[in-house]
Amino acid sequence: MSIKISILLASLFAGQFLFAQNSAEILTYISTYKEVAMSEMQRTGIPASIILAQGIHETDAGTSDLVKQSNNHFGIKCKDDWRGSVVYHDDDRRGECFRSYSSPLDSYVDHSDFLKNSPRYQFLFKIDPLNFEGWANGLKKAGYATNSRYAQILIKLIKDYNLQQYCLIAMGKLSPTDEVQVTVQINNLRADSLSETDSKSGKAASPKAQYPSGEFVINGAHVIYAKSGTALLSLADQFDIPLFRLIDFNDLNGEEVIIKDQLIFLQRKRKLGSREYHVVQRGESLYDICQTEGIRIESLQEMNRLANWEEPAIGERLYLQSPAPSKPRLVQKVDQRHDNMNGEEKNSSGPPVSTISHEIDDKKH
């Protein structure tokens, strides 16, 4: 997958950190090294979430010059007691000495031993391994990195990519078969902080997503991006899925042809999302959000206290993994009945038709 996602967080981090890592590369990195991270957690007690987050950040998801030259996944410098191979790399100063390893596995093991055996990191091992925020702040406090935002960077990676689940798997609290495969929307600004800031100004943008061709995965469920005019029966035949199931998987109403470009799931969506919450963008309906996040519409409604046909307003947070603390603000709904052909009195038969229009609200959360 070569399409890039560029998420700019310069405003959030005041110029300290530009999150330009390719999300596809991050997902590949997680898939490649999650097993060794869990193994090291079982061996030493260092949270797998922290190990993976550090590895992603320190190597730019496996793409940095340093990791390519040295297999050094954690930016560990030589120090006086290092007797192994070395490489020289510009960091805080020019030509600094970094440890070099014969394989990534050696780097992971040495990183664990480095933390486990160093007196200045001993206090970390008294912190609950599921308290990733405590570990992230502790690493910064102990001087692991000079970046003043180091802890926040690790915490955001853990949250955005659901790295906590690997701690639960390593501890036997979650089955490996229950792993949620995080898929980040491609070529779309999905930084929650950026979207939320824009929505508060009443100018929330919702750039059109660009998805890969063919079959891919969102929130652990297989999906394709289908063009307007595609016959559902042809998709059902192509993927050997009964038509009624394809309709059910996608909460459709018996349509024969897709009326707009959209995601079509090839298996049932999940009850929980891969992220904590979704910030409603301009033009998004509840249905759109369910498709984007790969979550069942009844689950999303229940967690966010929404009745059928209620639509959340721009900028509202919809919770994807746990019950919302309160019901979101709703868009304006206007009861409207059909006018007759002569424009005389309105037809009073049948239920009112709701016309939904997003309200712009500068309310801060």
Q: Round to whole Å and give the CA distance between 319 and 305.
A: 10
**pLDDT at residue 211, rounded to an integer:** 74
Residue range 192-220+270-319, CATH number:
3.10.350
Tokens of 292: 């984007």
Q: Round to whole Å and give the CA distance between 196 and 176.
A: 33
**pLDDT at residue 206, rounded to an integer:** 42
Q: Round to whole Å and give the CA distance between 317 and 320.
A: 9
Give strand ranges (E) for the chain.
86-89, 96-99, 216-218, 221-226, 262-265, 277-279, 317-319, 332-336, 353-357
Q: What tens-digit pLDDT sequence spans the chain (365 residues)? A: 333 333 333 333 333 333 334 577 888 899 899 999 999 999 999 999 999 999 999 999 998 889 999 999 999 988 778 888 999 987 767 888 999 999 999 999 999 999 999 999 999 999 999 999 999 999 999 999 988 899 999 999 999 899 999 999 999 988 887 787 665 443 333 333 333 333 333 333 444 556 777 888 888 889 999 998 999 999 999 999 999 999 999 988 877 888 889 999 999 999 999 888 898 888 889 999 999 999 999 999 999 999 988 999 988 999 999 999 999 999 864 333 333 333 333 333 333 333 333 333 333 33
| Predicted model pTM | 0.48
Residue 332: phi and psi, rounded to 5, are -70, 140
Contact 20, 57 (CB under 8 A): no
Q: Round to whole Å and give the CA distance between 59 and 151.
A: 16
Using alpha carbons, select from 53, 49, 35 the residue that is nearest to residue 129: 49
Domain residue ranges of the chain, discontinuous segments joined by +: 23-178, 192-220+270-319
Residue-by-residue DSSP string for 13-35: TTTS------HHHHHHHHHHHHH
Tokens of 79: 């120090």
Burial class (CB in 10 A: 0-12, 13-18, 19+), 115: buried
Residue 72: phi and psi, rounded to 5, are -85, 105
Whose tokens are 């709904």? That residue is: 333
Q: Round to whole Å and give the CA distance between 188 and 262.
A: 15
Q: Round to whole Å and give the CA distance between 192 and 100.
A: 37
Q: Rounded to an integer, what is the distance from CA 208 to the centroid of its chain? A: 17
Residue range 23-178, CATH number:
1.10.530.10
